[in-house]
Amino acid sequence: MNEERVVLITGSSSGLGACLIRHFSKKGFGVVINYIVEDEAETLRKEIAENVGEDKVMKYKANASDRQQVKAMFDATIEKFGRVDILINCAGINRDTTFLEMTDELWDAVVDVHLKGHFICGQEYVFHNTEREGLIINLGAAAGLIARKNGVNFCAAKGGIFALTKAMALELAPRIRVNCLVPNAVRTREVIERYNLEDEEGLSKELATMPMGRLGEYDDITHMVDCIVGAKFSTGSSFFANGGQYMH
């Protein structure tokens, strides 16, 4: 295992994170599933193990914003695989309400997982990868640039991630690249529920904002991630995959 590349993806028991776990496992990577929900993570772990072998996959329960849990997760990754080459920060939550109804608790919950989580996981990745070249992919959102109603905590956190990505890239270059993946309108469970896309009216309303005329699929995101992995001369950059819904 020491000569194989390894990717650790936070928040990867379902949705986009799980999609990326499957993608990298098919490419021969050792994969680390970080999770909170046990059932989802174990189902995914079994699937990957059946396809590529038990030695190619591990799961680890950790809150991305808890320093000790994250450190222990990276320690366990090094113990199993001997290395960690790529970190993808996918962990995130939404706790939406109006600006005037936003509580300190709701603010902290979202900002901690997104912004603090990216910071802590990024640091621990570097602490556990002291010699070889590496890559960190942070997960952005257009809401961090243009905002939206009823999500001031999410928008502020995602806006911070854009700045964090650039600051990390400046300090960690040239050995470690840090870039930002910015997906939008991808057909995930969360997006379908948020925008009521199972309803014809909700779907039509969303598609009207899409120059490409369709929702994003998981393949659209994995292709973009492959581009980021291969973009050896890019750091501190944001890579948008949103069908033209937001042009930057």
Q: What is the CATH number of the domain that holds 70?
A: 3.40.50.720
Regions in the chain scoring below 50 on pLDDT: 1-2
**Tokens 């990276």 appear where?**
74
Does 214 map to a domain? no
What integer pLDDT is reported at residue 194 of this predicted model? Answer: 79
Q: Tell me which residue range forms the domain holding 10.
A: 6-186+219-240
Long-range contact pairs involving 98-102 (C-beta distance under 8 Å, separation at least 24): 98/149, 98/150, 99/152, 102/152, 102/153
Which amino acid type is present at position 149? K
Within-domain flag for 121: yes
Alpha helices in the chain (DSSP H): 15-26, 38-52, 67-81, 104-111, 117-127, 143-146, 152-172, 189-194, 200-207, 218-230
**DSSP code at position 196:** T
pLDDT at 1: 39
- Domain assignment present for residue 180? The answer is yes
Query: How many whole angstroms separate alpha carbon 148 and alpha carbon 155?
Result: 7
> Is 159 domain-assigned?
yes
Q: Is residue 152 part of a domain?
A: yes
Structure tokens at 248: 């930057």
In a domain, 177, yes or no: yes
In the sheet that holds 134-139, the strands lie side by side as: 57-61, 30-35, 6-10, 86-89, 134-139, 176-183, 238-241
pTM over 0.85: yes
What is the structure's pLDDT at 3?
Answer: 55
CA atoms within 13 A on the CB side of 20: 30
What pLDDT does 2 receive? 40
Per the structure, the count of domains in the chain is 1
203: in domain? no
Helices 67-81 and 117-127: crossing angle in degrees, nearest 10, is 40
DSSP 213: S
Determine, yes or no, domain membership for 194: no
